Copies of this chain bind each other. A is one copy, B any other.
């Protein structure tokens, strides 16, 4: 495995889940594997879980992790091919990525979308430039359109709480928010949930349809109450409109998940990738109650990253 940027196959997905759960029991099992290897963690955007869990995963494997907050510590990056750099950008992505490729064994990169340039975002342009020019294995720490380490952690969590159910009913429900939020988590969650063979229903107000590249195979249901019925797992997430790109079409607070919404799904566990805006996306009673798996998901971020780094080390 050279790149970890998206869902590849159910077999590989299951292998990574199993390896992650092994590491969860024995974090230092492969302490010797990464000796003398280095991962560069490059952030173009803020991070808490992703940064720390990746550093810990690397340390658990005996690797050295170096974090670079490129947005704050480094130079403003130019992304366009052929640009005449006589404005604000100081270094071209080609040059920076090439150098980083010569410094590290693996690069892990976070590059959010602009939400203003649809074409660039849906082609995952910025992240792709790093992949293209670094010449070494690359792990996505969330790109414009995917957040695969989050989704792997989510699938680990689903497996842990499925009580042996082979095909749990999973519902991805849109939640209100005050800001225009990227699609990466929702896209990847759909991609992985479908890829792992689960039953996925996506519910959201009309107009919030996600990119079909990620959702083909899921049931789309505009009626949230119907969608939630008999759910085993409810994944709560806001995203901005995809068709009317980056727009906020609704802030309807009735979509915020509360206990009342789950009266027809007594077994439902509630998931969110964090950070979560309490009492806007999800109520306190949900997050602090027994249904919540959000802290479990966050903890599994370590072992998801560890499994991926381990697999790339080979």
CB-based nearest B residue for A102: B299
A309 to chain B, nearest CB (A): 16
Contact yes or no, B278 A49, CB < 8 A:
no
Cα A278 to Cα B64 in complex, Å, equals 32
Cα A288 to Cα B92 in complex, Å, equals 12
Check if A33 is an interface residue, CB within 8 A of chain B: no
Residues of B within 8 A of A47 (CB): 73-74
Cα A56 to Cα B99 in complex, Å, equals 13
Residues of B within 8 A of A284 (CB): 82
Contact yes or no, B278 A78, CB < 8 A:
yes
Check if A275 is an interface residue, CB within 8 A of chain B: yes
Stretch in A83-91, A116-124, A185-193, A227-235 touching the partner: A83-91
Check if A298 is an interface residue, CB within 8 A of chain B: yes
Residues of B within 8 A of A294 (CB): 95
Residues of B within 8 A of A94 (CB): 287-288
A125 to chain B, nearest CB (A): 17
Contact yes or no, B73 A276, CB < 8 A:
no
Contact yes or no, B298 A102, CB < 8 A:
yes
Contact yes or no, B64 A46, CB < 8 A:
no
Contact yes or no, B83 A278, CB < 8 A:
yes
Q: Which listed residue (B48, B82, B90) contacts A70, Cβ 8 A? A: B48
CB-based nearest B residue for A65: B66
A295 to chain B, nearest CB (A): 5
Within 8 A of B (CB), among A49-67: 49, 51-53, 55-56, 59, 64, 66
Taken residue by residue from 255 to 293, chain A's Cβ proximity to chain B (1 for < 8 Å, 0 otherwise) reads as 000000000000000000011111110001001100000
Residues of B within 8 A of A89 (CB): 277
Q: A78-B278, A274-B99, A295-B98 are in contact. Are A68 and B52 (CB under 8 A)?
A: yes
A sample of 15 more A-B contacts (CB under 8 A), given A56-B103, A84-B278, A91-B276, is A46-B74, A48-B68, A48-B70, A48-B75, A48-B99, A52-B100, A69-B73, A91-B274, A92-B278, A94-B287, A95-B274, A98-B298, A99-B274, A99-B299, A102-B295
List 9 contacting pairs A-B, 8 Å CB cutoff, sorted by A.
A52-B103, A59-B64, A85-B277, A85-B278, A85-B280, A90-B277, A95-B287, A102-B295, A102-B298
- 5 A-B pairs closest in CB distance: A91-B275, A85-B277, A84-B279, A102-B299, A99-B298
